[in-house]
Amino acid sequence: MVSVRNVVDRVGPTLLHALQLPEDSPAVGDVVIAEPGGSAGFSGGDLVLGVAITDAADAAELVRAGAGQGAAAVLLKPPLAAKPAVKRAAKSAGIALVQVHAATSWAQLVWLLRTVLDALADESESLENGGDPGAGDLFRLADAVASVVDAPVTIEDTNSRVLAYSARQDLTDPARVATIMGRRIPDDVLARFRSRGVFRELSRGRQTIFVPAQRDGTLPRLIVPIRMGGELLGSMWAVVAGPVSEERAAAFADAAPVVALHLLRRRAHTDAQRRATAELLRAVLEGQATPRRAMAELDLSDEPHRVVVIEVAGGDGRDAEGPRLALLERISQGIGRRPITTELGGLLYAVVPDTAGPGGWHELRIALHEQPAKRRGGTLRAAAGAAGEIGDLAVSRAQAEEALGLLRADLVGEHVVVFEEVWTELALHRAATAGAAAKVAELGPLKALHAHDQANRAGYVDTLYEWLRHPGDPRAAARELRIHPNTLRYRMRRLLELVPLDLEDPDVRLALITQLVALRWS
């Protein structure tokens, strides 16, 4: 059964937004266009497009007529779709109401909806197996575009990754061959195109861009942006022999809207898969899904896995969603397999096998270490929980979050940590947290010493802490404080004059260490 929700999810939020989705909508059958004043000859399960409806009263009547004849949904453009009278009519009639992006061509939408309906009906097996039903179509489309422009073509996304390519790539240059082999434009070639302003022109939305041959032997390129509703979805690159006639360039550009529909369809499929994966992974991390289901549906192997939590905080300390997702894309390009990920509370969670093989924790750790801790507009932190069985992923998540807390408090010098490797810091932090809750630092003379520091900035508390940490080694303690050893000795004499402390008593030293740890590590 193909539902309205299936269709909306497949086409994607760029074009469609469901305003009303009843639970018992009929199965979708076909797409029909409703004209104002025309006969409402709908069939059960139709998607009814209000192409020329301009009045809220006509729109509400169309909704009621569609529901009366068993239509599955009515599709309208803004502002009609969101009019209160229209929404009330849809709710009372029990029919789905879907808003279409204002800039969308109705003709293109009809073609796309029928393609999606065919795909959902004929390719359910491919969807269940995790395949991409649009991939083959995109390669065939690349061949068709190549015949139009009479040049080998690649279709790329906004990150310069190759989604599909045509035949005849053997007639190109080394840069194109490297692009096909690596499935993305090589960094050095990318830098050259960027320096020539190619990507700036793409973002501005010019119809076609011609890039002349370069001294390194790179052949000329004819490039066209792929847009839908004002959004840049990708681009098409043709390797040409030289300047192209206006007719060929125009034909190349005319193919862009058709490619845009395929890219939207592909993205909708990928987004739906990612949403389903993310929802199941959230349940696994919260201990609400069985290990058997997680292994079957998330394609997890029967071996120890770790949970890795990644935080990209903005320069103002707030979470930065865009940089976090962009980071995942960057690190995923350098490892053998994209980690299974989801988001919870503004944090990115990844589950990876505890192996040194492709897509394992070893690879991900290297990729994270290669990312700078301080980056423009934010800070990167990552922490991994201990490795365990699939049923223990909720425990690994809690451990990763505890280790992330050390990073947030600047208690560890790295920006990527592993739970088992920071056990001393964790032990001190747990002890300090318990000590702080019990207010141990308020006992004895330490409270007076702390008050004196606050009033005079004497640094006596820090001095005592380092003196106790380095027993019998005043030079090491002085190095930690960045002062001369004689200054350290002077401070110790002064603080002992200020408060009565018997530092020869081992229990006094132990109690002071406990208090100072509670002050510094909680």
pLDDT tens digits for range 286-305:
888 888 888 877 877 888 99
Please give the single-letter amino acid code of residue 340: I
Q: Measure Cα distances from 344 to 223, 278, 280, 300 in Å.
A: 39, 10, 12, 20
Band of the pLDDT at 64, cuts 50, 70, 90?
very high
Residue 303 or residue 36, greater confidence? 303
Rounded to an integer, the average pLDDT of 175-185 is 78
pLDDT tens digits for range 353-404:
998 877 788 888 888 887 776 655 467 899 999 998 988 899 999 999 999 9
Give the largest CA-CA distance in the chain: 101
Give residue 521's pLDDT: 78
- pTM value is 0.51
User: Kind of pairing, strands 416-418 and 378-384?
Assistant: parallel
Give residue 238's pLDDT: 94
Q: What percent of the chain has pLDDT over 90?
A: 26
Residue 170 CB burial class (10 angstroms; 0-12, 13-18, ≥19): exposed
| Crossing angle (nearest 10°) for helices 187-195 and 174-182 | 120
Structural domains in the chain plus CATH codes:
4-125 (3.40.1390.20), 135-264 (3.30.450.40), 298-420 (3.30.70.270), 438-521 (no CATH)
Give residue 123's pLDDT: 46
Chain mean pLDDT for the chain? 83
**The two structure tokens encoding residue 189:** 């070639």
CA distance 141 to 196: 28
- Residue 506 pLDDT exceeds 80: yes
